[in-house]
Amino acid sequence: MRAPPAYQALQRELRDDIASGAYPDGVRLPTESELVARHGLSRQTVRRAFQDLVAEGLVYRVPGRGTYAREDGHRYLRQLGSIEDLMSLSDDTTMEVLSGLRRRVDVEAASRLQLDDDVVHTVVFRRLHGSDPGVPFVLTRVHLPRFVAAVVHSAPELTDGAVSTSTVIGLTEPHLSAAITEAAQSITVSNADDEVATALGCDRGHPMLRVDRLYTDASGTPVELATSLFLPEQYTYRVTLRRSS
């Protein structure tokens, strides 16, 4: 796998440092000159990393004084605008499988996947961000139709206790006859059940951000239903909207 650009590697390191508490709210980060000397990078590379962190809302800059961590810098922030953005969750988070891919009866999931029966194949996992051991910020339940589950049923990344930097769509799409082209998304509020509370270290009933995504391929066939419950104090969701031409 090709190594990420230098500015992305530095950006990830600084993001992890902020998430781990190395730079609490209002604490100044190293200067551009300090990072250039420490990592042997160009000033332009360091500046690009800082610009992206500012855009994410993790830091703010004070002219003539430096760059400082924000209060909510411990949160994981993901800017989404494409299927590729969703697949790139593997770039800076870890997936821990709590319940491996298994056949189950789920009437609601099967209905949303437009299946002829009530059988789906489900994997449950949580994601963590930041440095090892990482901070859990979301529990996801992914439901697959039988024909999709069949192509990944032996994938070690989807077994009980597996830890990887994978995404389910990243594992399945290379084996599908048609590419995934759409993710219909809904966002609402929910409460943590026992499974979510245990996985994310919160109280049962804790308010959660619920994001449902139904993925379809180029033929219009649903191929995955993912329901994710995010800890609001550990996650920031950002979407950029642009005026149509």
Taking the domains of the chain in order of start, what are their residue ranges?
6-69, 76-239
CATH architecture of 76-239: 3-Layer(aba) Sandwich (3.40)
- How many CB atoms are closer than 10 A to CB 14? 25
Which residues does residue 221 pair with via DSSP β-bridges, in sequence order?
none
User: Mutual orientation of helices 32-39 and 6-19 as an angle, nearest 10°?
Assistant: 110
d(CA 106, CA 133): 33
CB neighbour list of residue 39: distance below 8 Å, 6 or more residues apart: 6, 10, 46
CATH topology of domain 6-69: Arc Repressor Mutant, subunit A (1.10.10)
* pLDDT of the chain, 245 residues: tens digit per residue: 466 788 888 988 898 888 777 888 888 999 999 999 999 999 999 999 888 888 777 888 877 788 888 765 555 555 555 555 555 555 568 999 999 999 999 999 999 999 999 999 999 999 998 766 788 999 999 999 999 999 999 999 999 999 998 889 889 989 999 988 888 889 999 999 999 999 999 999 999 999 999 999 999 999 999 999 999 887 777 666 667 66
Question: Per this entry, what is the length of the chain?
Answer: 245
CB of 127 closer than 8 Å to CB of 136: yes
What's the distance, CA 166 to chain centroid? 10
The reply to whether the predicted model has a pTM over 0.85 is no
